[in-house]
Amino acid sequence: MDDTTDLHIDLRQMILAIETAVSLVGMNDTNHGKRVGYIASQLGHELGFSELDIQYAFDLGLLHDCGVSTEQMHSNLVNQFDWTDAQLHCDIGYKLLNSFAPLAKFATPIRYHHTPWQQLQQMEISPHDACMANLIFLSDRIDVMGASHYGKDILLARQDIRQSICQHAPHYFSPELVAAFVTIEQHEAFWIALENRHVTRYTWDMSNIASPQQLTLPQIKQLSLILSYIVDQKSPFTAQHSLLVADLAKFIAKCYGLFDEQCDKVEIAALLHDLGKLHTPDDILEKPGPLNSVERAIMNQHSYETYEILRHIKGLEDIARWAAFHHEGINGAGYPFHPNQRDFSIESRIIAVADVFQALVQDRPYRDGMPLEQVLQILDQDVTKGKLDGEIVQLLHRLANDCFSIAKGLVASDNNLRMHQLTA
């Protein structure tokens, strides 16, 4: 990827990346968003939706759970038909998307995608938004009831699913949508297509339909800020970690002398570097003590998960590597790729140093944030061991007080301002 301002990214590829990241929270079931998108698109086809509305319904299904960050929230949503606090993730998703113009059209349906149909009828929202919100609610509940049966006995379980859905109409679901479901569920192909291998292929086919919306670099940065918020909400002990690593990495990159656009891309990669942690169990992230060998082995997978989320986005190939290499070492140690020195770019090295520095100054479950002098000593030791780039660490020594203030969140930044606006 060259250093020009002509970078444009297909919006649908970014939507797929959001779904891939958020679905990781499901731990052992990472295709929920894809299946909801598939069900919604099939219902839309049965109802005679336009091709654009079918694509909209599919994308909405991919995005509908973007407000979910924790295992506990995910568990409550899939184990209770009408969880009392379901609206929490709807409101979070609304705030995140409503602030981002290219995805704002999905915000209102996401806000109401757990609102019963009879309540929706009393609200001042457009008929289109009400229909799409209820479409996703229905699709979501169908999938939740079917999830444990895919690839096994779904053709036997479908009768119970149909009966349950019909029992909940018309309070929860539009009678028109339920009638469409009763029609399409009679086709075995509808249910078989929901198996992981099939729904993944369907999603791939849909991803090849290019979006008319192309994202510019500033828009990618804004969307990366949204994704970093989702990740950092997974644990109170990592709140703002991605944001502050990005602020610090960009500051170091500027002081190192990288071009402005390189600095922007470093910032984006740093915002996205921990996306894979959405697949790390909550109890590991919040453990009040050092991890044991099994827990550490699980934790060490998150960098690869980050790479898998980002590498399929055409135009972000370099950013995917920079983000995924944040735990690599100059000496080939670290994880998970062990790149040689030639492939371990300066951008990756800057993010690696920024990540260590910010983590050390931040409070964690088993220790308080460290003072600057102690942090610098640890960085120097990592240089001696061949883990961190000595030139970057020396630069950080010269900028130590500024770096410490940035990493602690004591310096107002554009990202802090945008995050405040995002969550207000």
Q: Which residue has the tokens 């797929």?
A: 16
- List the catalytic residue out of 95, 221, 234, 277: 277
Closest to 269 (Cα-Cα) out of 382, 346, 383: 346
Q: Which residue has the tokens 């295709």?
A: 31
- The tokens for 234 are 């997974």
Q: Which residue has the tokens 């959405």?
A: 278
Judged on CB neighbours under 10 Å (0-12, 13-18, 19+), 287 is: middle
Q: Give the number of C-alpha atoms closer than 13 A to the C-alpha of residue 116, restricted to the C-beta side.
A: 12
Q: Enumerate the H helices of 99-151 as residue ranges.
A: 107-111, 117-120, 127-146
Q: Which residue has the tokens 């086709």?
A: 187
Q: Give the number of C-alpha atoms closer than 13 A to the C-alpha of residue 12, restricted to the C-beta side.
A: 17
Residues listed for the chain:
424
Residue 277 is a catalytic residue = yes
Contact by Cβ (8 Å): 198, 192? yes
Beta bridge partners of 45: none
Cα(7)–Cα(16) distance, rounded to whole angstroms?
19
Q: Which residue has the tokens 């910032």?
A: 267
DSSP state of 301: T
Closest to 37 (Cα-Cα) out of 108, 136, 111: 136
Closest to 347 (Cα-Cα) out of 409, 257, 224: 257
Q: Which residues contact 165 (CB under 8 A, 6 or more apart)?
A: 138, 141, 142, 145, 173, 178, 181
Distances (CA, A) of 299 to 194, 221, 338: 30, 26, 16
Judged on CB neighbours under 10 Å (0-12, 13-18, 19+), 345 is: middle
Cα(31)–Cα(194) distance, rounded to whole angstroms?
9
Residues annotated catalytic, as ranges:
277
